[in-house]
Structure formats: structure tokens, C-alpha cells
A and B are shown apart, each in its own frame.
Chain A
Amino acid sequence: NAGVTQTPKFQVLKTGQSMTLQCAQDMNHNSMYWYRQDPGMGLRLIYYSASEGTTDKGEVPNGYNVSRLNKREFSLRLESAAPSQTSVYFCASSGVLFYPTWLNEQFFGPGTRLTVL
């Protein structure tokens, strides 16, 4: 049981290059998330997918796109990388919603450290 996995672990890009960060979970979770973490800023939500087939913008979506490929996989794409996107990116997942008990605990992957030159 690997939990949440992310690839790659590290990446260096030049300004204007594109790349896709991959995330997969094996916990049969409905919801998946992408965050970025910058020094002193905590975790900021980029995009999330409440369930397979749906995606929504979070707090900082500009410059990113996402794809919920299936229930297990949620990818984050940078179409034209900028130095401001230098950050550590975390993927997370969380379990099924049960009314009236809503589960909010999220499980995080190990992160991808991205540097844009």
C-alpha cells in the first residue's frame, strides 16, 4: 500500500518549458488535490478534484492545468513555466463524503521540488 505517490521528485526547467507532474493514490479516495508550498506561505491549493470527472480551481490556479485521468490519477501541467512557479508541489487525496459525517483528513504525497530558471 503505497498511499500517494508523485513523480518526479525533483525537476529543473527553463522559463517557457512545459512539464506534467504526476500523482497517483491507491486508497480508493474520491478527492484529489494539488498544492504548492513556498517559504512562509503554508500550503496553497492550486486545483482539486472532488470526484472522478470533476475539477475545480483553488486559491492559485493561474499558469496551471489539471487532468483527473481516472479515480487513481491526477496530473498537474505547467504549459509555460515561469520563475514564480519555483516551489514544492504536493499532491493529496481524501476519502469519500458520508452525510452527515464529512471526512476532511487529507493524505499527502512526498512532494516534487521544481525550480524554474
Chain B
Amino acid sequence: EDKVVQSPLSLVVHEGDTVTLNCSYEVTNFRSLLWYKQEKKAPTFLFMLTSSGIEKKSGRLSSILDKKELFSILNITATQTGDSAIYLCAGGLQGAQKLVFGQGTRLTINP
């Protein structure tokens, strides 16, 4: 059975801290690893990673994939209160449009 596990499930930090969110996966016919940010409503897309070792960056957010060890991390530097959200990672399957989601990490940034 395909499985994606995120850790920690919940994290509270102070504004300005750097955080690392973890995502490990066991997905047959793995194609890609996706990160989403969910504030009050719908998840919004952050990154899609398909190649090992190549970092993707968007402002203060960055992510990298390790296909040998089957995990990905999402880093957020100089956190702001607007980064407070649930962060979801998902495994994408080769040849199919299905995603398998992890439980999410609830990140809270305190001022």
C-alpha cells in the first residue's frame, strides 16, 4: 500500500526561526513529490520535485528530494506569521494522475 508520512505533525516556532519539515514516502511507481500549503481553504501548490538532489527555491522556501532514501524536506527560512499553515506533501505515481497525501504538518509562527 502506498504511504506518505510527514513529521513533525505539529510545530510551533517564533518569527524569524528556520524550520525543516520532513516527508518520507513508500510509493510504487514513484514519479514526483509535491508540496502544498493550506491556509484556511484549499491547498495551494508550492513545489514539484522529480529529480534527486536538485533544490527548488521560491523566496524563503526551498525543497529537495532524495530518491535513494525516499524522503523530501521543505525548508522555510526567516519565518513570518504568514507562513502559519498546514503543509502537505504528496507522492505522484508514474503513469497515473493520483496523488497520495501525507497527514500534513501544522506550522504555527508566533510573533
Contacts and interface: CB of A to CB of B under 8 A. Distances in A.
A104 B30 CA distance: 11
B39 to A, nearest CB: 12
Contacts of B58: none
Given A102-B31, A105-B45, A42 B92 contact: no
Interface in A102-117: 102-111
Contacts of B45: 105-107
Nearest to B94: A102
A108 B42 contact: yes
B48 to A, nearest CB: 6
B21 to A, nearest CB: 13
B97 A43 contact: no
A97 B96 CA distance: 8
B42 A31 contact: no
A107 B36 CA distance: 10
Given A40-B9, A41-B103, A105 B43 contact: no
B74 interface: no
A104 B92 contact: yes
**What are the 3 tightest A-B residue pairs by CB atom distance, in nearest-first order?**
A104-B92, A108-B42, A31-B97
Interface of A: 4, 30-31, 33, 35, 40-45, 48, 50, 58, 90, 94, 97, 102-111
